[in-house]
Amino acid sequence: MTNFDFFKIAFCFLLALIPALAWGIIFYRKSPKDKKVVLATFIGGCLTVFPIVLYQMSLEQELDLGLFTIRFRDMLSFFGAMRTENLYKSVVLTYVFVGVLEEVVKHLIIKVLDDDKLQSVDDSIELSIVAALGFAFVENIMYFLSIWNSSGFNALILPFIFRSVFSTFAHVLFSGVFGYYYGVGHFAHPILQREEKTKKHPILKFIHKVLHMKKDTLYHEEKIMEGLLIAVLLHAGFNFALEMGWMFLLIPYLFLGFYFLSQLIERKENHIKYEMICEFRTSKESALF
C-alpha cells in the first residue's frame, strides 16, 4: 500500500465519520453510564457490513456443471422472460434478500451484545440506531473509496451529500423502527400486563386459551415479526425508489421518517425502566429473536 492509498483510506474514513457523528448526535440523546456498551455496539454494527458484502459477491460467482454454467445472480432473475424483468428483479433482490438480510444481521448485534443491558424500549431504539450507524459508516467508506478509485476525487461531492443525508438516515430509520418493536417484544411481560388493564389484545387472549401458549410469548413474537416486516418494507421501498430513479420521493420520505422515528423516541412509555427481564425469555425462545 502506497502513502497515497493510505491517505485515501484515511480521508474516506473521516468523510464517513461525519454523517455517523451527526446522526448519532441527533438521535442518541442519552449520557450513557457505560460508554463501552455504545462503542461495542457501534463496532459490532461496523462488522455486520461484511456478511452482506460476501452475499453480494456470491451473486457474481458461477457454478460449472459441465453441460452448462449457472450464475447465481441469474437464478434470482427467473422472471427475466417477462417484460417487467427489472421491476421483479428489484423487488426480489431488495425485498426478499437484501432487505431481510441487512435488517436481521444488524439486529443480531443488539441481540448478542446488548440484550441483557436493555432497561427500556428507548434503550432498544437508540442502541439499534448506534448499530445502524456503524453499518452505514463502513458502507460509506467502501462507497467513497470505490467512487474515488473509479471517477476521481471530484466525483465524491454529490455522493457524500446524498449518502450523508439520505442513505445514512435510511439505515437509522430501518433499525430504529425495528429496535422499537424489538424493545416492546423484549419487555412483553410487563407491557402486556399494563395494556391488559385497558382490555387490549383480545385476539392474544383467544389464542392463549385455544393453543395454551403463553400470552407473553405470543405478544413477543408478534411484535418482533411486525418490526421486521415494517423495517424490511421501508428498506425495500427506499432501494426500489433509488433503482427506479424516483428521487422526488426521497424528500418526503426523509421528513416523514424523521418525524416517525422522533415520535417513537419521545413516547413517554418507551422511557419506563423495567427492573426485570421477561420471564418467558428462556432457552425455548427463538435463537434469532
Query: What is the per-residue pLDDT across 88-117, written as a single tens digit (0 to 9) for each?
Result: 555 555 555 677 788 888 888 888 887 778
Amino acid (1-letter code) at residue 115: D
Amino acid (1-letter code) at residue 284: K
pLDDT at residue 70, as a whole number = 42
The beta strands (E) that lie in the chain are given as 62-64, 69-71
pLDDT at 254 over 80: yes
What Cα–Cα distance (Å) separates residue 154 from each residue in 157, 228, 240? 6, 38, 27
Q: What is the Cα gyration radius of the chain?
A: 21
Tell me the mean pLDDT in the region 155-166: 93
More confident residue, 194 or 120: 120
Coil vs helix vs strand at 62: strand
CA distance 232 to 265: 20
pLDDT at residue 233, as a whole number = 86
pLDDT at residue 164, as a whole number = 93
Q: Which among 67, 95, 71, 90 has a CA at the least distance from the CA of 79?
A: 90
pLDDT at residue 140, as a whole number = 94
CA distance 49 to 212: 41
Q: What percent of the chain has pLDDT over 90?
A: 30
Instruction: Count CB neighbours of 137 within 10 A.
Output: 24
- Residue 125 dihedral angles phi and psi, to the nearest 5°: -65, -50
Question: How long a stretch of residues is the chain?
Answer: 289
pLDDT at 74 over 60: no
The neighbouring-strand residues paired with 62 are 71
Say if residue 116 is exposed, middle or buried (CB neighbours under 10 Å; 0-12, 13-18, 19+).
exposed
pLDDT at residue 100, as a whole number = 79
Tell me the mean pLDDT in the region 250-263: 89
pLDDT tens, 6-42? 899 999 999 999 999 999 998 877 655 578 888 999 9
Q: Which three cell numbers stand for residue 163?
A: 449518502
CA distance 229 to 133: 21
pLDDT at 166 over 60: yes
Sorting pLDDT into bands at 50, 70 and 90, what band is 86?
Answer: low
CA dihedral over 189, 190, 192, 193, signed as positive or negative: positive
pLDDT at residue 250, as a whole number = 87
More confident residue, 250 or 58: 250
CB under 8 A, 24+ apart: contacts of 250-253: 250/166
CB 188 within 8 A of CB 221: no
CA distance 134 to 138: 7
